[in-house]
Amino acid sequence: MQIYELSGGTAKCIHECEKPAGFKCGTFGASTLQDRHLATGDFAGKLNIWDLTRTEKPLYNVQAHAACVNVIDGCGGQNIGYGACELVTGSRDGCVRVWDPRVKEAVLSLEPDDDTARDCWAVAFGNSYNDDERCIAAGYDNGDVKLFDLRTNSVRWDTNVGNGVVSLEFDRKDIEMNKLAVTTLESRFRLFDMRTFHETEGYSWKAVKAHKSTVWLARHLPQNRDVWMTCGGNGGLNVYRYSYPLKRQAKDKDGLVKGVVGDAELLNSRMVSTQPIVSFNWSPDKEGLCVMASLDQAVRVCIVTKLDKY
């Protein structure tokens, strides 16, 4: 683990420590802005929470899965104001589990049948707009996308997007579900309109081809939920803007209401590496400031300008 401090346009390593198992994923999502506790999942299947000022021993440690923790997300922290602080992990063992850092046991475990277990590659919290509502979206290596309702403890919706799901993200965690971006192998991502559910067709969607390679990530701009960045396996970055349709609902031939998805406009594109960009995060404070990591073993800090003009 390495901790960097950004000052004067230069990133300086201020702390470094080595742990028994390599980290696969991490999030600050379940931590307050004051604490900034980092939750990590590692290749040994463990979930840890760290105080970055004292990394000798984790604040929280649990054997979360029987295999590598592929992905993690957090909700309730960062002063969003709604619901308990929770973490969700997805693993190679096919399980998706929800954790409350106050207890050592998973508060919810979504486990597949032994003969149908698929590798979970992506998880995300959403719909946490009050103290009762909260959902989890999970994506799997066979293209399955499942939406779990934590209030009703049930699968709210599931679909298959045709290719392995490597990332998914709601445009905001702390609002009523609005849009969901799902990125996949084979150069595509899908946008789902999550406001209107159709009894047979589910949520309306639109597929967009990008990067001519795997679309590893989609990350929405904190200051504007209708602008997002995608990160490609070709080392490229694409900035998109969402345009809402004139009407977000329409009726089918049977008179049932279904959602109408808008358009995704490519605003800009830039190659920043010769290798895939596999991690990306926006600054919540300075609009356009972002940090990314790629498989060329480099961490890059960039500023995307003129986002206020889009």
Are 87 and 185 in a shared domain?
no
16 belongs to a structural domain: no
12 belongs to a structural domain: no
Which domain covers residue 300, as residue numbers? 178-310
247 belongs to a structural domain: yes
Per residue in 198-223, pLDDT (tens digit) is: 988 999 999 999 999 999 999 999 99
Are 202 and 281 in a shared domain?
yes
pLDDT of residue 219: 97
pLDDT(66) > 70: yes
Are 161 and 245 in a shared domain?
no
Are 120 and 223 in a shared domain?
no
pLDDT of residue 149: 95
pLDDT of residue 234: 94
pLDDT(307) > 70: no
280 belongs to a structural domain: yes
Q: How confident is the model at residue 239 (pLDDT cuts 50, 70, 90)?
A: very high
User: Which of 171, 195, 212 is the last residue in one of the domains?
Assistant: 171
pLDDT(157) > 90: yes
pLDDT(309) > 60: no
Are 78 and 203 in a shared domain?
no
8 belongs to a structural domain: no
pLDDT(88) > 80: yes
Are 132 and 271 in a shared domain?
no
298 belongs to a structural domain: yes
Q: How confident is the model at residue 178 (pLDDT cuts 50, 70, 90)?
A: very high
User: Which of 171, 188, 206 is the last residue in one of the domains?
Assistant: 171
pLDDT of residue 310: 44
Per residue in 242-295, pLDDT (tens digit) is: 999 999 999 888 888 999 999 999 999 999 999 999 999 999 889 999 999 999
Top-confidence residue, 35 or 221: 221
pLDDT(4) > 70: no
Are 219 and 136 in a shared domain?
no
pLDDT(102) > 50: yes
Q: Are strands 257-259 and 249-251 parallel, antiparallel or unpaired?
A: antiparallel
Per residue in 8-21, pLDDT (tens digit) is: 566 665 556 666 77
Across 80-84, 169-173, 302-306, the highest mean pLDDT is recorded for 169-173
pLDDT of residue 165: 97
HEC sequence for 177-238: CCEEEEEECCCEEEEEECCCCECCCECCEEEEECCCCCEEEEEEECCEEEEEEEEECCCEEE
Are 142 and 195 in a shared domain?
no
pLDDT of residue 55: 84
Are 201 and 255 in a shared domain?
yes
User: Which of 171, 197, 225 is the last residue in one of the domains?
Assistant: 171
5 belongs to a structural domain: no
Q: How confident is the model at residue 158 (pLDDT cuts 50, 70, 90)?
A: very high
Are 207 and 229 in a shared domain?
yes
Choose the weakest-confidence range: 10-14, 42-46, 85-89, 225-229.
Answer: 10-14
pLDDT(115) > 90: no
pLDDT of residue 92: 93
What CATH number corresponds to the domain at position 126?
2.130.10.10
Are 36 and 155 in a shared domain?
yes
pLDDT(227) > 60: yes
Are 189 and 304 in a shared domain?
yes
Tokens of 79: 């002063």
Q: How many domains does the chain have?
A: 2
DSSP string, the chain: -EEEEEETTEEEEEEE---SS-EEEEE-TTS-TTT-PEEEEETTSEEEEEBTTB-SS-SEEEE--SS-EEEEEEES-TT--SS--EEEEEETTS-EEEE-TTSSS-SEEE---GGG---EEEEEEE---SSS--EEEEEETTSEEEEEETTTTEEEEEEE-SS-EEEEEES-SSSS--EEEEEESTTEEEEEE-S--BTTTBS-EEEEE-TTS-EEEEEEETTEEEEEEEEETTSEEEEEEEE--S-SEEE-TTS-EEE---EEEEEEEEE--SS-EEEEEE-SSSTTEEEEEETTTEEEEEE---GGG-
237 belongs to a structural domain: yes
pLDDT of residue 209: 94
